[in-house]
Amino acid sequence: MNQHTNTITFRYATKPDTPLILHFIKELAQYENLLHEVVATEDNLKEWIFDKEKAEVIFLMEDEKEVGFALFFHNFSTFLGRAGLYLEDLFVLPQYRGKGYGKLLLSKLAQIAIERNCGRLEWWCLDWNKPSIDFYLSLGAQAMDEWTTYRITGNTLQTLASESLTHANSQS
């Protein structure tokens, strides 16, 4: 009996992959019931990921087909005095789940963090996403329960920025 073994590889995304990156982002947003919040376009993904190099994307490939992705970037820990990797998105297409591909993607990110001498790898997870939480805990990840995430966007961000400018101008 001839048994087929899938070939698993990783590759970094390139600019022509931008439509595929957006597809994966939308698939993840659909899973998280947040598709209505996706305003990213191919043009701004090209600008921020490839032109400004503010993030990176790796694909997990099964037999040369992209079946999972991770989007990440460097952050910095003042306490450690060195950079870390922040995982913004990790997603495996539904039909490829249960094969250990999520763990392989995280393992690849850990390898990248070690190669770059980063002090840590971190990410957020939605509180309701019990399957992912259980998975992360099984890998030895620690929930940062003593921290609360804060966010300022949109008009609030604009207002706060203008207060800084107003204060700076009044000091001149």
Q: One of 12, 101, 136, 150 is an active-site residue; which one?
A: 136
CA 47 to chain CA centroid, nearest Å: 17
Clarify whether 31 is annotated catalytic: no
Amino acid sitting at position 112: I
The whole-angstrom separation of Cα 91 and Cα 25 is 8
Could you give the 3-state DSSP secondary structure of residue 142?
Answer: coil
The whole-angstrom separation of Cα 119 and Cα 96 is 31
Cβ(55)–Cβ(71) below 8 Å: yes
The whole-angstrom separation of Cα 25 and Cα 33 is 12
Reported as type and span, the H/E element at residue 60 is strand 56-62
Could you give phi then psi for residue 144, rounded to 5 degrees? -95, 65
Question: Known catalytic residues?
Answer: 136
